[in-house]
Amino acid sequence: MAFDFEKLKGILVCPRSRRELILEQDALVSTSPEARLKFPIVDGIPRLLVDEAEQLSMESWSEVMRRAGRDALTGKVIG
């Protein structure tokens, strides 16, 4: 069974910041500008382990937020 982000997005949160996660290709990215963590999705299963997450640079994280229609500094929904 494939990972269905739309069904779970209301309950999945970043384990470090407790902020919302967004889907970015084959990973979930924290909307927290302090954490900036990217969690891989392996074989359809999100690996929400802080020790296995990649911390994005502010520039990379901001670009992900822009593509998701979010503020590039805060990660919050625009509008």
One digit per residue, pLDDT tens: the chain, 79 residues?
678 999 999 999 999 999 999 999 999 999 999 999 999 999 999 999 999 999 999 999 999 999 999 999 999 999 8
pTM above 0.85, yes or no: yes
Per-domain residue ranges for the chain?
Answer: 5-67
Give the pairing of strands 54-55 and 27-30.
Answer: unpaired
What architecture is the 5-67 domain classified under in CATH?
A: Single Sheet (2.20)
What pLDDT was estimated at residue 1? 62
